[in-house]
A and B are shown apart, each in its own frame.
Chain A
């Protein structure tokens, strides 16, 4: 465990907490893409099946359980408890266009053709694009609440910090995982436009509003 990875994980955890608090406190999930949240639930479910087979550390187990549980909790809040506030008219991204290619790619490009390994690879590919419905929703409405922007910034920072972690591990531990690195790069690149708007607008106290 190095500092980049620790901060990456904490940033990921912070993103989840911000999102749950936003929904809970405002009793509303307006501006949040339920499609992205469903994708995240699929991502963590397929990736963390190794909870049953491999023990790495108490930290690892704890975080995995938290990520799986909170992803389902978010989906529950959006589609059941605060269903009335869900922005379904704007959340129209077709997630099968992300799931199907991720499945095919995982079947073709993987390190080992076993059920767990293909599911892990699928989750890595799917995670890299899972934020697209959320970014699509923001572009459709043309704006995002500050709290939603903070959520997106924390969530985007997590994989960016993992990239630094992978650079560090490559040199310090002679360790690398090409599938995770390439997918992590894609994932981080997708946030670049948002990062730019966040730094130039939200941090200066303005609302994130896209040019008309």
Chain B
């Protein structure tokens, strides 16, 4: 599972 750093959510 990838930990997300992009914060594509609001």
Contacts and interface: CB of A to CB of B under 8 A. Distances in A.
Q: How large is the interface on A (under 10, 10 to 19, 20 to 34, 35 or more residues)?
A: 20 to 34
Contact of A63 (B3, B5, B6, B10): B10
A143 interface: no
A175 B9 contact: no
Interface of A is mostly: helix
A54 B9 CA distance: 12
A178 B7 CA distance: 12
Interface residues of B, number: 10
A112 B6 CA distance: 12
Interface of A: 5, 9, 12, 50, 54, 56, 60, 63-64, 67, 111-112, 117, 120, 162, 165, 170, 174-178, 180
Given A174-B2, A177-B9, 15 more contacts: A9-B10, A12-B10, A50-B7, A54-B6, A60-B10, A63-B10, A64-B10, A67-B10, A170-B1, A174-B1, A175-B2, A175-B4, A176-B1, A177-B3, A177-B4
